[in-house]
Amino acid sequence: MYRYIIRRLIQAIPTLFGITVLSFLLMSAAPGGPTAAMSFSPQTSPEQRARLEAQLGVNDPWHMQYLYWLIGDTWVRRDTDGDGEGDMWGQRKGILRGDFGRSFTRGKRPVIELIGEFVKPTIELTGSALLVGLLFGLPIGIFAAIGRGGWFDNISRVMAVIFSAIPNFWLGLVLILIFSSTLKQADGSPFLPSSWQCNPTLIKCPPIYERLEYLILPVFTLGTAYIAGYSRYMRTSMLDIISQDYIRTAHSKGLTPRMVWFRHGARNALIPIATFLGPAITGLLGGAVLTETIFSWPGLGRQAIQAVTAQDYPFVMAFVVIGAVATIIGYIISDILYALIDPRIRFN
């Protein structure tokens, strides 16, 4: 198992570098640039813009910017005043040494420090959505397969198709319109809050159990698609399992239906679900981009949208690296879950 994981991690290195190269190339080819957004004032002279570009290091060719981002620029003298001459040695160590650079638009703070502040709200949101998807989706799929053709099966399939087809942003806006704008409590406040006003970068936020009402709408928005998906996959897998000979043998031995369905049937039906559970980490990260923006959730997704708009290269590339690493780890988790669920599978 350990050798397999190490081998998969080594094989993922070229993929990770390929993703970063393409992302950096696309971002550098975008029109404008960070200096266009930071020096939008018409009173800014060309000399001031050139000086700002030199300070940010965006006046170099894109491949040199990528090289500095990757291995650092401490080995070259940087032009910090735009006069074309090196004034001081570079300060960036490169991501290979754990330095993602400094943000262009957030007070030039270290990106790794910003990631540490914004990752907690994202984990709270995506982790809760994934947990809701598993807790509701798997049992719904099992009971739908057991009662195949019944009212519960028909209703669950229709609802699964509906929630799979509804876009997250549209569902989030509808929920805000109903539960935050239309429905009110006795004191006139919204029935459910539409945004989380606690900013982790400014104040210390209360524990998650003291602000569960802020999680209801965004978690429902992000988790419905996973409930629908897991219920459909679990139903299909369970229907294939309950027709097997060992299930009929378990019934003939006098085992209770609960033991047959959940102990013998559900465990084997979970094997295909493991295929989707690992990559769901990346899917949640991508879905959180829209959900966090709609509900003003101070997480990585919302900050990534703002960084893309401002062309904050260091923050965007850090987000890309996190997404790529999450994808790689997700697929490795899927393979590990295969071995945990099915003892017949071994990685030798």
Which of 93-97, 123-127, 137-141, 203-207 comes out lowest in average pLDDT?
A: 203-207
Residue 159 pLDDT: 92
In this structure, whether the domain defined by 111-341 belongs to CATH 1.10.3720.10 is answered with yes
Asked if residue 340 lies in contact with residue 270, where contact means CB atoms within 8 angstroms, the answer is: no
Q: Which two tokens mark 267?
A: 């465990």
For range 264-291, the mean pLDDT: 76
pTM exceeds 0.85:
no
Residue 348 pLDDT: 60
Cα distances (angstroms) measured from residue 166 to each of 127, 163, 228, 327: 21, 5, 11, 24
For range 285-300, the mean pLDDT: 82
Residue 136 pLDDT: 93
Residue 344 pLDDT: 66
For range 271-285, the mean pLDDT: 73
For range 55-73, the mean pLDDT: 76
Strands (E), 28-93: 77-78, 88-89
pLDDT surpassing 80 at residue 19: yes
Domain span(s) for CATH 1.10.3720.10 in the chain: 111-341
For range 42-57, the mean pLDDT: 66
Confidence of residue 82 (pLDDT cuts 50, 70, 90): low
Distance CA 125, CA 119 (A): 10
Q: What is the pLDDT of residues 204-239, one digit of tens each?
A: 777 777 778 888 899 999 889 889 988 998 898 888
Residue 13 pLDDT: 86
Which of 80-84, 231-235, 295-299 comes out lowest in average pLDDT?
A: 80-84
**Token match 């879905």: residue?**
287
Give the phi and the psi of residue 217 in degrees, each rounded to 5.
Answer: -65, -50
Q: What is the pLDDT of residues 158-181, one digit of tens each?
A: 999 999 888 888 998 999 999 888
For range 36-61, the mean pLDDT: 65
Q: Which two tokens mark 192?
A: 């459910």
pLDDT > 90 in the chain, percent: 8
